[in-house]
Amino acid sequence: MDQTSPHGEFLSRFPERLRTKMLSLGHPFRYRSGQTIFIEGDSSRYLYLVKRGRVGLAAQVPGRGPVTFMTVSPGEIFSWSALSRERVETATARALEDVDVLGFRGDQLEDVAWEDPQMGLELYRGVMEALSARLIATRLQLASASGAEAKPDRAA
């Protein structure tokens, strides 16, 4: 977990006032190793922040079934579908070990973002930075698997 905050990388970028406000909205959840948190296609209600443990994200691949494509560690977020209009999970999340997370209701975060534009900006900026890092990691994984060299995308 990021050393600048006991709550990790995602929340460390928030100013103290906003970090405190964000933490006040969190609902603690605990999942046992192997437990499914949600399934691809489920309604997406929460944006999750991992506090302890690791979560595997998997997608259904035709002809292969579920394929784990990402592991989420302490301080990182997952299930940003809770902030989208559709609010539908695009992956399946499973606890790879005992996991503690904070869940932030997507509808509540959206309301707070409208009420407090600075918080909304920081929240969406943080989600976009996490999404960007995941896309880069995925590109590197695909390049490694294919034997090709990953090159930066100038358009991104």
Using one digit for the tens of pLDDT, what is the confidence trace for 53-105?
Answer: 999 999 888 888 888 888 999 999 999 899 998 999 999 999 999 999 999 99
Alpha helices in 8-146 (DSSP H): 9-12, 16-25, 106-115, 117-146
Residue extents of the structural domains in the chain? 9-142
**Residue 97 contacts residue 33 (beta carbons within 8 Å):** yes
Does residue 152 register a pLDDT over 60? no
Q: What is the pLDDT, as a whole number, of residue 11?
A: 86
Bridging pattern class, strands 77-78 and 36-38: unpaired
Contact, 40 vs 90, CB < 8 A? yes
pLDDT at 117 over 60: yes
CA distance 113 to 54: 28
What is 9-142's CATH number? 2.60.120.10
User: What was the pLDDT predicted at 130?
Assistant: 86
Tokens describing residue 100: 């503690």
Distance CA 59, CA 49 (A): 20
